Amino acid sequence: MKSAVETLTPTRVKLNVEVPFEELKPSIDAAYKTIAGQIQVPGFRKGKVPAKLIDQRVGRGYVIETAINEGLNGFYQGAIEETGIRPLSRPEVEITEVPDPTATEGQLAFHVEVDIRPEIELPEYAGLEVTVEATEASEEDVQKALDDLRGRFGTLKTVDRPAAADDFITMDLSAKVDGEEVDSAADLSYQVGAGTMLEGLDEAVTALSAGEDATFETKLAGGEHAGKDATVTVKLKAVKERELPEADDDFAQLASEFDTIAELKEDLAKQAADAKVMEQGIEARDKVLDKLMELVEVPVPDSVVEEQMEQHFRPENSHGEDHDTEEHRAEVRENTAKAFQNEIVLDAVADKEELGVSQAELIDYIVSSAGQYGMDPNQFAQLLDQSGQVGMMVGEVRRRKALAKVLELAKVTDSNGAEVDLSDFVRPAGEEEPNIEDMIQAAEAEADNAESAEDTEGADEAAEEAPAAEADKK
């Protein structure tokens, strides 16, 4: 078989493939067997019909066509391997030559147009300079952390006064659209100022006392009337404020492993400092990636964008009447292109740095991703395995490590001119390749350990699919 690549654009090629008759013959023989099992000829058992009779009954041309349709994917995959291209989209196939049905020679020839991963020239990324905001943990940060911790152990006390910000209220709600009640709820709990319910609710309940009501106009956020203008009446039934425990040694022993409030505050100060470093690290990481992407041009195949657009704007993915707008489409198009470009560049960095993904790193990522979806890590890992998504997760972890490497090599200073040490933010590269069975077992163990701990305490293609059997023929 001969394969040649013709570059159409930086992201699209045409494969010209020629398959001699000798290499097509195994597919022809297989086609005879397939057809023999599909037809009935008197005097012959099913599957035992001779080739000559098959030629008489269905025609040699049909046999050749069947052989081509069944063998085309294998020839295409062979051409990919021979040429080394990395397809991204479904191939578009055009058969240009088939063997003469009356002869035992000739060749199969076909063209394949397909989008591919673009080749880029990776710029020098060591020493990229970025500036982040100067920041350090303050007494206010420590006090806020302490107050938040106290809030977890606080109690609610009913008060006889108008509701104010941060109070907890009990209320009844009813909503009308065009004068007709469409929804109602009783004894709802809500923290004033949370902004997690209807727009305008915070303003309506502020300064209301128990037994008083108010009416306001808003747009409904959920249900069959989502997005519609409604008149909402809220009746306040109770106002409660949170009483915080005293910040003393007793509280430190109750809320932490420390014996004194001084030790607890010292630990909270360290946590606040670590959080500030994390903030700087995230800011530096994003700025380093932006600066890196400014140094390289990455063409984006139209098929990558269009596939994402089609998926995002499917009816079942709609999020209301304002979902499919020109502005939103432009945003999705831009984000898709940017994500693809980032992926190409970070993959190139990972290749250059010879970065691998250890089992522990993959486990950490899967456990974190499972938590975001509210799933058990073991079930999430098995789902990834069954759906063939493990490779995708490995690629994502590898790209994160590539970006961490670029950040490690960057020069980061704060807005005061001081050098920022992000060594604790950047993870070192690993070399061990993950094993899916080990990964699942480790996820199971981690899930079991987490469950055990709770009891004791008391209670994260189309490109290589077969070309369509109905490929156009010339």
What are the tens digits of pLDDT across the range 170-203? 999 999 999 999 999 999 999 999 988 899 999 9
**Per residue in 327-375, pLDDT tens?**
888 999 999 999 999 999 999 999 999 999 998 999 999 998 888 888 8
Could you tell me the pLDDT band of residue 209, with boundaries at 50, 70 and 90? very high
Q: Is the pLDDT of residue 445 over 80?
A: no
At residue 225, the pLDDT reads 81
- First CA to last CA across the chain, in angstroms? 20
pLDDT, mean of residues 91-108: 87
pLDDT, mean of residues 212-219: 95
For the chain, give the mean pLDDT: 86
CB 64 within 8 A of CB 28: yes
**Per residue in 408-439, pLDDT tens?**
999 999 999 999 888 878 754 443 444 444 44
Residue 319, classified by CB atoms within 10 Å of its CB into exposed (0-12), middle (13-18) or buried (19+), is: exposed
Taking the C-alpha atoms of residue 220 and residue 166, their distance in angstroms, rounded to an integer, is: 23
The CB-based long-range contact list for 134-141 (8 Å cut-off, 24+ gap) reads: 134/414, 134/415, 134/416, 134/418, 135/276, 135/279, 135/280, 135/414, 136/273, 136/276, 137/269, 137/272, 137/273, 137/275, 137/276, 141/272, 141/275, 141/276
Q: Is the pLDDT of residue 123 over 90?
A: yes
At residue 226, the pLDDT reads 82
Could you tell me the pLDDT band of residue 207, with boundaries at 50, 70 and 90? very high
Could you tell me the pLDDT band of residue 323, with boundaries at 50, 70 and 90? low
Taking the C-alpha atoms of residue 105 and residue 40, their distance in angstroms, rounded to an integer, is: 29
At residue 55, the pLDDT reads 85
Q: Is the pLDDT of residue 16 over 50?
A: yes
Residue 394, classified by CB atoms within 10 Å of its CB into exposed (0-12), middle (13-18) or buried (19+), is: buried
CB 113 within 8 A of CB 96: no
At residue 292, the pLDDT reads 96
At residue 460, the pLDDT reads 38
The fraction of the chain above a pLDDT of 90, given in percent, is 59
Could you tell me the pLDDT band of residue 316, with boundaries at 50, 70 and 90? low
Could you tell me the pLDDT band of residue 58, with boundaries at 50, 70 and 90? confident
The fraction of the chain above a pLDDT of 70, given in percent, is 88
Q: Is the pLDDT of residue 125 over 70?
A: yes
**Per residue in 154-166, pLDDT tens?**
999 999 999 999 9
CA contacts within 13 A on the Cβ side of 424: 10
Q: Is the pLDDT of residue 467 over 70?
A: no
At residue 317, the pLDDT reads 63
At residue 435, the pLDDT reads 46
- Of 128, 118, 119, 122, whose CA–CA distance to 290 is shortest? 128
Taking the C-alpha atoms of residue 208 and residue 206, their distance in angstroms, rounded to an integer, is: 6
Q: Is the pLDDT of residue 256 over 90?
A: yes
pTM higher than the cut 0.85: no
Residue 175, token pair as written in the block:
């909503």
The DSSP element (H or E) to which 235 belongs, if any, is strand 229-243
What is the C-alpha radius of gyration for the chain, rounded to an integer number of angstroms? 32
